[in-house]
Chain A
């Protein structure tokens, strides 16, 4: 989230699209209710199903799964056509005025530079024209045909209301009503917030769905505002923290990158990370990359990381492919190229697509290690559970170790919520039986492995033997010790550049925050964006002062928010070019004539003058990006793409299937279904009463929603002869499931490109372990393909068929 849960009370209009907050995030959704009750805010819901969020909305419209980009580009077109644009914001705070190279263009749903064989674009022309002064050229009058604004206008021109209705199945009058409501928020004193979740991410173009709304929010001037922003409702309690800490194939904590093998040394690696400003006087904060990176390397390898050895650069692995994400790993596993696999609190057999492939892949491992508080399906993948897990145990040669871990109630440390608050928690119960904290398990395992390398030698042992491990008990590092490492400290006295001869941070002291980090090896810091969380003031994540000056919703003394305790990202953009708040009633920070101050920690140098230093300090331009250069694989603007399994062809280019640059493995491509064979669109979702595959282990929640079901419209039920409560079979190209049918008015057939499109809703909470009745998840059916940029699997739009099935025999 750019903003915080408590900030939603400040909004005028909530749009929930790509999510279902009332059911998946009930207590966060209460802030929407608060905004509606106290300031008359309105709620729009756009969703294939009439969800519980929709049931309390002021306006609802249906949409065909996987067509969100067409809808969003249509709204942008409507706003431009009807002059619903926050012009001063767009001119100054976005890259609307910057000029783009002449070679960039598009046709037939594809951008310039497409190579069909490589399934990739040559993105060289997707960039700005650079002037003789080394800066991007611009035309502040927005007249130049090559400026971003005019290219955007031309790009969205095709997305007429008729186009939207035809592709999305959203009735035109409903769509136009939503455009009107959104358009009102282009006024500086009206603000909309976007709340989205996996309904947008789990598509082969998920990242572009989100960009579409981010662009709309910029055009309306709603980013950086109280009650505005792009609010990703993260799914799990610390999924934000694990992302921040870079537990991903290609990441280093704080959104730094693991090098590739095309970067053979430190100099080459850093040469593409200088982040020279693209406009004069702009901050381009990533210019500090080397300070964060060197401090990270010192946190990892301490004295073994030196200037002479490029800070132990070769201790880091180098990638040969963009990522070894889970889809690639399970593909490699299926090919017999993976021997050992660890699952730490993760149940991939239910969480990844194409369960048959997952079972086949897991069966080829030598050893599977599962650390979990619960008996997961993954740990028991080899166990026969009849139709629910129909495997031949004797033929599966994988050895499995199932290790009991503590759960939240027995563990201490911090979680990062969706609004980037790091909140500390304490243990209140003893672990059951021999269950251990994950830190204990990782430490003991690592120490045993390190000892093997010490005793026996082995291949390239240096990064293991030299890994920094300065804990009082090496077999049981304490949360406090680990948190302090993430915050970072001075390794020797650091001189204060403002007062030469004086010490800024003494050797051994915690740094105040990341502004004190150095790239000469004098500081260490595990995760620069968390720096400040545990400094010499103590554990700031444990702060519990819930006062809220100005009733602004910021709660600056409650826990600690990254970065530097800032609650609303880009908050400098809440004020105009003179530094006055766009809306005085919604003040966040203000320019006093000398400095920035207000209710939040300013997201700008405190003495950076308005009108000179632009608000988007992380970007080289100083502005936000309506056109994102070559930074995304599938285009600098979002363009309409169909799901890989779709009931209709792409109207922009009927030959194009799915996202033209998504990575597809050969076997998976052969398993994509067509609508001739599988005519119905399926989508997956959560229920209020369950959390993933966890709460089915809990009798209360298992009783609230005991049994797997699928949801279909009355029209589809009539067409197929299915009655409510009867048993149905749902099958696709990759598998089949049996479920109770819920026949409902909450789903209606849609008309798209001349066809009637039926939607089948498939909730995701059942499996073969736990207290609930046994069932299946949607992943028995879903395709093995991910988003072109981040490889998030396409769970939200795929094809199935459905038919009545015989009732289960009563036991």
Chain B
């Protein structure tokens, strides 16, 4: 579906063309070779490019992420740089002061890296495994639902409503996450269900 020559591709070719032809035309062919021999390669040429969308506001600016390593190839990948996508019709390569610093959001020192548990009355978190965390949650949910699911209204209508557990969904997760979340939450009868759109 991509058009043959993207705007970025065009800029790259045009830039290279101007350099080669003008230098060549002025008789600097050898100088160019000498220059190329000692100039360090553009850092991003060895990275993997991935298309994504800015995670902040709903303008949804197109971005390109540059990483060491290729996730698609099953490798561990580290994002090195993020910039605006010049082919994107909305932002045409530009980013705002928030989007321009996206890499530092991805690498924020306060990113969470492992599940943690805070006991009643405690002053600190302690590390737990995913299994421990999810087992604890599943058990708490089942016990609460079994104890508190309102199955029938006063008028005798089946209502299957669970009001003692609530779920707040996000605002930057994908549609796919949202749909899976919807399925799970609704199948349990949870009605205290909301997302950031409420505020």
Contacts and interface: CB of A to CB of B under 8 A. Distances in A.
B194 A236 contact: no
Interface string A545-566: 1111000000101100000000
Contacts of B121: 393-397
A432 B115 contact: no
20 contacts: A27-B91, A28-B90, A236-B172, A238-B171, A239-B197, A242-B178, A249-B193, A258-B191, A315-B160, A326-B198, A340-B140, A345-B170, A346-B169, A417-B90, A435-B113, A442-B177, A485-B179, A545-B2, A689-B97, A690-B98
Contact of A237 (B123, B172, B179): B172
Contacts of B120: 396-399
A695 B101 CA distance: 9
Contacts of A403: 112, 115, 133
A28 to B, nearest CB: 4
A395 B123 CA distance: 10
A356 interface: no
A300 B163 contact: no
Given A27-B96, A329-B166, A701-B98, A6 B160 contact: no
Contacts of A428: 48-50, 52, 65-67, 71, 77, 79
Given A346-B195, A397-B120, A429 B59 contact: no
B199 to A, nearest CB: 5
A372 B112 contact: yes
Given A25-B58, A264-B157, A320-B161, A375 B196 contact: no
Nearest to A251: B193
Interface string A451-463: 0110010111001
A341 B144 CA distance: 11
A434 B113 contact: yes
Interface in B96-119: 96-102, 104-106, 108-119
Nearest to A457: B146
A173 to B, nearest CB: 35
A437 B94 CA distance: 28
B172 A459 contact: no
B45 to A, nearest CB: 16
A234 interface: yes
Nearest to B159: A318
Contacts of B173: 238, 242, 344-345, 411, 438
Contact of A5 (B59, B137, B187, B190): B59
Contact of A344 (B55, B170, B188): B170
Interface in B7-60: 7, 48-60
A329 B195 contact: no
Interface in A460-475: 460, 463-464, 467-468
A508 interface: no
A325 B170 CA distance: 14
Interface in A244-280: 244-249, 253, 258, 261, 264
A795 interface: yes
Q: Which 7 A-B pairs give the minimum distances between C-beta atoms?
A: A433-B113, A413-B174, A345-B170, A428-B50, A404-B112, A417-B60, A236-B171
A459 B145 contact: yes
A486 B90 contact: no
A700 B67 CA distance: 20
A449 B90 contact: no
Contacts of B165: 338-342
Given A261-B155, A300-B187, A338-B166, A527 B179 contact: yes
Nearest to A198: B199
Contacts of B123: 383-384, 393-394
A697 B194 contact: no
A415 B155 contact: no
A324 B193 contact: yes
Given A402-B112, A464-B187, A458 B90 contact: no
Interface stretch (A222-230, A476-484, A512-520, A582-590): A476-484
Nearest to B88: A546
Given A241-B175, A242-B169, A324-B163, A442 B1 contact: no
Given A320-B161, A770-B110, A418 B178 contact: no
B88 A318 contact: no
A204 interface: no
B164 A445 contact: no
A485 to B, nearest CB: 7
Given A342-B168, A449-B141, A320 B159 contact: yes
A520 B108 CA distance: 51
A375 B82 CA distance: 23
Interface in A677-697: 688-691, 694-695, 697
Interface of B: 1-3, 7, 48-62, 65-67, 69, 71-72, 76-79, 82, 87-91, 94-102, 104-106, 108-123, 125, 128, 130, 133-142, 144-146, 148-149, 151, 153, 155, 157-199
B157 to A, nearest CB: 4
B162 to A, nearest CB: 7
A635 interface: no
Interface stretch (A144-152, A419-427, A498-506, A706-714): A419-427
A459 B98 contact: no
A805 interface: no
B199 A452 contact: no
B163 A314 contact: no
Give the most central of A258, A264, A408, A547: most B CB within 10 Å: A408
Contacts of B185: 247
A435 B52 contact: no
Contact of A452 (B62, B100, B139): B139
A431 to B, nearest CB: 9
A615 B183 CA distance: 34
A297 to B, nearest CB: 11
Contacts of A246: 182
A492 interface: no
Interface string A301-339: 000000000000011111110001110110011000111
Contacts of A401: 115-118, 128, 133, 136-137
Given A233-B58, A340-B144, A479-B176, A546 B196 contact: no
Contacts of B169: 242, 247, 344-346
B58 A769 contact: no
Interface in A689-739: 689-691, 694-695, 697-701, 704
Contacts of A342: 165-168
Give the most central of B106, B117, B123: most A CB within 10 Å: B106
Nearest to A791: B198
A449 to B, nearest CB: 4
Contacts of B178: 238, 241-242, 245, 247
B196 to A, nearest CB: 5
B91 A460 contact: no
B187 A399 contact: no
Nearest to A690: B98
A514 B71 CA distance: 34
A489 interface: no
A594 B2 CA distance: 33
Nearest to A466: B187
Contact of A697 (B65, B108, B177): B108
A367 B90 CA distance: 43
Given A352-B199, A374-B111, A341 B60 contact: no
A369 B133 CA distance: 10
Contacts of A346: 168-171, 195-196
Given A382-B118, A425-B174, 10 more contacts: A24-B57, A25-B57, A237-B60, A238-B171, A248-B195, A261-B153, A337-B164, A340-B164, A400-B118, A558-B89
B98 A467 contact: no
B160 to A, nearest CB: 5
Contacts of B163: 324, 332, 337-338
Given A351-B199, A374-B110, A544-B1, A421 B125 contact: no
B1 A545 contact: yes
